[in-house]
Amino acid sequence: MALEPLVSLEIGTHTVRVLVGEFRQDGHLLVTGIGEVSSRGMRKGEVVNFDAAVSCLRDALDSAEEQSRTAIRSAYLAVGGPHVRSQVNRGQVPVIPAGSEISREHVHDALESARAVSIPEDRVIVHTIRQRFVVDEHIEVLDPTGMSGSRLDAYVLAIHGLKNRISDLADVVVALDVDVADAAFSGLCAALAVMHPEQKENGSLLLDLGGGTTDYLVYADRAIVAAGSLGIGGDHVSNDIAVGLGRIALSTAEEVKVRYGRALVSAGFEETIPLRIPSGPATPAYRRDLEVIINARLGELFEIVREILAAQGLLPRLGAGVILTGGGARMDGIADLCRQIIGLPCTVGLPRDVSGLVVAGEAPEYATAVGLLKYAYRVRGERPRAPFLRRLLERLPLGGVRALQ
């Protein structure tokens, strides 16, 4: 028996994607509707043309409704972009009398103290994710309940974003008379869709390669220890190709990238590819030149990621390596390039445990939308909270809690 359908919205730089899904009692996801259109009015995950963004979302919603035979009135919203950041916050409580047993109430109070994150007025908390506890300043555990101590410290990872950016995205949804049930960081959603428990256990980096941005999420010691978003994506590669191959049209550059692109430079100097020129016949270009351009931009991205990991001392803690997902993960040779630069094993992650419209479980670009449905399934049973727009206005935490433990 399936539960009531859930809907995820991913309003990206390159694509607007709507998924409708039903969950069986055992938690298996059945995708019943997909709406997907090329995006307009978005740049790096942010709304730059409201009317264009609304129009695209309307078309995607119509397709998803028709396919699933569901009237969409409420949906969950993916949030990403370079404005999304994370920070570790600590809270502490005394255990009274000193040396007595730590109770669930102590754990709750320590977490609530840690979740009281101080951020600038223009930002809002999207998630506060439990990481670890420390008893008496030296015993580190995942669950201290039942231990004895005098002091309990709790650590959480707070993921936050610019309030206005998230509000702009939510307004696009509300303009179509669809309620925003909740929001979640797109990198977290992608991780929920593609990562195996062993990868979280052994430490791993998730990179969600989108059109305008690359989201990242880091697991170490079974906890999320870092998250964020970089303003580099597949569209930047296309722009480089458009300029580097003789100022060709951006649409031609995108077509060439998808059809002939490789992340590693392997072609000989004699191998050519045709370039479609609107004003005349197709002209040849060297495939090696294309590969050099792609390699340079993606190499820059992976270098930036490696520097972030190194600065936080995370590289030695990632025994399971790197998982690439998102549309950019389709690039030929990208896992090999990532492995060379970051210096860790690298694989491409596809959405797991998905049936129905199987395309959603066979392509990395569906990771965020599928993961957002799984997030929605986990938080739907939490106690009722204030409406999403009120939480946003009053700067209350947006995302649910139970999905992240």
Q: Is 285 helix (H, G, I), strand (E, B) or coil?
A: strand
d(CA 283, CA 285): 7
Looking at domain 85-161, does it have CATH number 3.30.1490.110? Answer: yes
The letter for the amino acid at 384 is P
Dihedral of CA atoms 124, 129, 377, 73 in degrees, nearest 10, equals 0
3-state helix, strand, coil in the chain (%, to 5): 35, 30, 30
Nearest residue to 379 (alpha-carbon basis) of 397, 356, 367, 393: 397
Q: Which two tokens stand for residue 160?
A: 């936050």
- The answer to whether residues 216 and 322 touch, using CB atoms and an 8 Å cutoff, is no
Q: What is the pTM of this model?
A: 0.91
Look at residue 346 in the predicted model and tell me its pLDDT: 98
Q: Which two tokens stand for residue 260?
A: 């002939």
d(CA 120, CA 73): 33
Q: Which two tokens stand for residue 165?
A: 């950016």
Region for residue 356 given its phi and psi (left: phi exceeds 0; alpha: psi -120 to 50; beta: otherwise): left
Residue 339 parent element (H or E): helix 334-342
Region for residue 146 given its phi and psi (left: phi exceeds 0; alpha: psi -120 to 50; beta: otherwise): left
Contacts of 120 (CB under 8 A, 6+ apart): none
d(CA 221, CA 317): 8
d(CA 8, CA 173): 11
d(CA 259, CA 331): 10
d(CA 76, CA 372): 7
Look at residue 402 in the predicted model and tell me its pLDDT: 45
Contacts of 242 (CB under 8 A, 6+ apart): 248, 249, 250, 252, 253
> For the packed helices 367-379 and 186-194, what is the interaxial angle rounded to 10 degrees?
90
- The answer to whether residues 324 and 347 touch, using CB atoms and an 8 Å cutoff, is yes
Residue 228, Cβ density class (10 Å: 0-12 exposed, 13-18 middle, ≥19 buried): buried
Bridge partners (DSSP) listed for residue 20: 7, 33
Which CATH code fits 197-350? Answer: 3.30.420.40
Dihedral of CA atoms 366, 371, 374, 378 in degrees, nearest 10, equals -160
d(CA 294, CA 300): 10
- The answer to whether residues 323 and 204 touch, using CB atoms and an 8 Å cutoff, is yes
- The answer to whether residues 42 and 212 touch, using CB atoms and an 8 Å cutoff, is yes
Look at residue 270 in the predicted model and tell me its pLDDT: 81
What is the mean pLDDT for each group of 10 consecutive residues in the chain (405 residues)? 82 95 87 95 92 97 96 95 94 92 94 89 92 91 92 94 94 96 95 95 97 95 94 95 90 93 87 77 86 97 98 96 97 97 97 78 90 92 68 69 48
Look at residue 242 in the predicted model and tell me its pLDDT: 94
Pairing of strands 85-94, 151-162: antiparallel
Domain map (residue ranges) of the chain: 85-161, 197-350
Contacts of 141 (CB under 8 A, 6+ apart): 132, 133, 134, 135, 147
